[in-house]
Structure 1
């Protein structure tokens, strides 16, 4: 069995640093088309109704699997020849993202908010496309034992970038025009560009190097092949795998969606929330992700999923106790410690799992599909949390969210007996 020292050493690999830096590049655009943009629009006097509609610009992140086959299999003129399949697409999407951010920053929201909306949608599309490439690149350059550490590195880079493009952008906006704020953020995408330029192209499978002849055959391989491949490798058990992907983080997501309203309703101040939930919570999440990466390297994906899943479910009970004791900062610190550490651990194990499920022939498409299904649990299903709170109150809501985690854990236990996640990873050829 791998020792703890060997498990910790997984973070010393240069490839983990590459993944971290690419995670930073991936995390920058999200807030720039979200809360940061909303604040800019508010300052410019755009109506609240219009600002609310800007939430729709995030649609590309949910549907990126629709064009992921093109990113997976279509060569880019010149770029593919010069840099390779993955690096060529990465540099192309990053270049487009930089241009889109500069164009967005040059807009006048007061004069033409719909032009801002159109460009924000372009930024989201370029960002989602970059995510397709970066996720595929990460899976392909890492060994399976490194998937947990890679997931932790992605979280660290991604969340750091969100702080930079959120709080950092707002601080910059207090001393310079918004164009220069967005220009600065565009320049920071250069972190990802330089990382790609100084990194190696992963070896492409033979089926990609020698694609099927003819446009129809190519399109069938690109768009149907990823799904046919999953069915071929997993058979009917693919239904259980996809259900598990949706359910595993459901209880954690349900509590997370209602966390901020909960803090306000029981009496915490904005300062309390900022200091404990946001700043300290960031550190706790990163620490949890790092621990999850070590755990995956130490005991494997399946048992890590089980341990982290149990911890995630149990952490929701801390919220129920918090609702009982009220606005106590000490208990909030304890709640955030347990919740964010266990959530970070669970995210690392879960990303390692869906990474291991992907065939190297269709990495971008299959990862995009699996991550989109995982988002379903965080959005559509967890979005019903507000109705549950209104019906039963805070304590029973968090007890309910704990119960909501049990189907995913029960399915995991059944899968571990019938077809262990490691066996599914081996079938993917990783």
Structure 2
């Protein structure tokens, strides 16, 4: 058995770390590897363009998050009752894709399987977030978010770049089977863990979407989630387009910007823990967002100062923005986990934060790209920089609501109680 009564937090960390890594692998497969491999196999661009649309369940998963919170298997446990079946469906969907031809002849079935796999993965994510928020004490939440962000990014590297490299060696179908097998292995910690039964003496309120916004904390957290990643998301998307227009080879863009950003975000998640302990989640959020501003600032400076973008500047912009995003993500989602932990609908609350986070990044990226089309890249990076500045203002304005324990402790010049803040 993975865990014992003496180490419940460690057991949950192993479980959620494995599940977040599995989500990252599936995310990397759908967003990075499979469109490239399907095109290489002869699938038309019109069909390849439909592959990212299979990620739609991740954008609208808040619609069924209350169902996941309100219903759970009595045999396997409230959270395990969702995690195990959805993980199995994800593996089965990927194995189904692996046996289909990549030339487009089975495109409708392939797209349907990818849609089913994404539906399973994002539903598993709702249950995993709820499990972590409910079962982990506050002192462990920063570490849980490091596992969440770092595990996801590591999984994206494996499912994206790793899948493409493995496909060159084994072929796309066999490589996809290997990826599905790796995701299946992440079920072992879940199978080994026994979820404690709910306390029959404690009644659990029905989860509802509107409950999230019934408190000032929910509104504040929602605003931060909607804004905090916008500058980095827009800057990252524009940087790839800019480098294409500067005649950078795709392989070089992938190595410097794609892989560099992923590794930088992972480094940021590692640095976030010590920063959280020193400054609290709000302080770390501010520090992370400030650091992300180096990305659009350097891209903008490079456009204005150099006819050709120096490689060193590209690397610095990528690393600065990525590390800042890693720190900010861990800090903001630590606030979210604490909010969910203190409420009665952990999965729904976390899902609302994640969907707002994704919606904000998608909207700002579209806006910045449209501005580039009208006025040039400088306008796009300037808007990305302004979006990060707006985030700073919102975090500062809502700091007392988001982290009231630390504010009261600082005001009284008293040490924080153990576990009151990350």
| Class of the TM-score when normalised by the shorter of the 2 chains | 0.7 to 0.9
How far residue 230 of structure 1 moved from its aligned partner, in angstroms, is 4.5
TM-aligned CA distance change 1:119 to 1:297, over 3 Å:
same
Q: What's the counterpart of residue 25 of structure 2?
A: 28
Is 1:252 aligned with 2:232? yes
Corresponding residue number in structure 1 for 2:89:
96
**1:335 alignment partner in structure 2:** 317
Out of 59-68 and 151-160, give the one that drifted further: 151-160
Q: Distance in 2 between matches of 1:126 and 1:397?
A: 35
Q: 1:211 Cα deviation (Å)?
A: 5.5
Match of 2:72 in 1: 75
Which of residues 177, 191, 195 is equivalent to 2:189? 195
Evaluate the alpha carbon distance shift between residue 399 and residue 86 of structure 1 in structure 2; reply closer, same or farther with a 3 A threshold: same
Match of 1:391 among 364, 370, 374: 374
Q: 1:34 aligns to what SS in structure 2?
A: helix
Go from structure 1 to structure 2 and tell me whether the alpha carbon gap of 1:140 and 1:57 turns closer, same or farther (over 3 Å shift). same
* 1:308-336 C-alpha deviation (Å, 9 max, x unpaired): 22222344212212323332122222222
C-alpha separation between the residues in 2 aligned to 1:69 and 1:410?
Answer: 32
Kept in 2: contact 1:135–1:364 (CA 8 A):
yes
Aligned equivalent of 2:79, options 65, 86, 90: 86
Cα RMSD for the two superposed structures: 2.8
1:362-386 C-alpha deviation (Å, 9 max, x unpaired): 1111111111011111102321111
Q: CA deviation at 1:267?
A: 4.4
CA deviation vs aligned residue, 1:77-130 (integer Å, no higher than 9, x gap): xxx32x321122211111121112112222235332111111111111111111
Contact 2:221 2:336 in 1 (8 A): no
Could you tell me which of 43, 47, 60 is aligned with 2:44? 47
- Structure 2 counterparts to residues 106-121 of structure 1, below 5 A: 106-109=99-102, 110-121=104-115
**Contact 2:369/2:380 (<8 A) preserved:** no
What does 1:222-237 correspond to in 2, within 5 Å? 222=207, 224=208, 226-228=209-211, 230-231=213-214, 234-235=215-216
In structure 2, what is the Cα distance between the partners aligned to 1:104 and 1:375? 26
Query: What are the equivalent positions in structure 2 for 1:36-185 lying under 5 Å apart?
Result: 36-76=33-73, 80-81=74-75, 83-109=76-102, 110-185=104-179
Counterpart CA distance in 2 for 1:272 and 1:45 is: 23
> CA, structure 1 residues 204+352, in 2 after alignment: closer, same or farther (shift >3 Å)?
farther
Measured after TM superposition, the shift of residue 46 of structure 1 is 2.4
Deviation digits for residues 254-312 of structure 1 (CA, Å, limit 9, x no counterpart)? 21221211222234343442332233333222111111122112221122122222222
Please give the per-residue CA displacement for 1:162-213, whole angstroms capped at 9, x wherever unaligned.
Answer: 2222222223323435432222111111232012123353674768x6457x
Distance in 1 of aligned mates of 2:287 and 2:328: 8
240-249 or 13-22, larger mean C-alpha shift:
13-22
* Residues in 2 aligned to 1:155 and 1:211: alpha-carbon distance in whole angstroms: 29
In structure 2, the residue matched to 1:268 is: 248
Q: Is the 8 A contact 1:137 1:202 kept in 2?
A: no
Shift of 1:54: 2.5
Flag structure 2 segments of 5+ consecutive residues without an equivalent. Answer: 1-8, 409-419
Name the SS of the counterpart of 1:258 in structure 2: helix
Unaligned runs of 5+ residues in structure 1 are 1-11, 213-220
Q: Which residue of 1 aligns with 2:389?
A: 406
How many residue pairs get aligned? The number is: 398
Partner Cα distance (1:203, 1:302) in 2:
34
Supply the distance in 1 between the matched residues of 2:302 and 2:19 (Cα, whole angstroms): 37
Output the TM-score relative to the length of structure 1: 0.84
TM-score by length of 2: 0.85
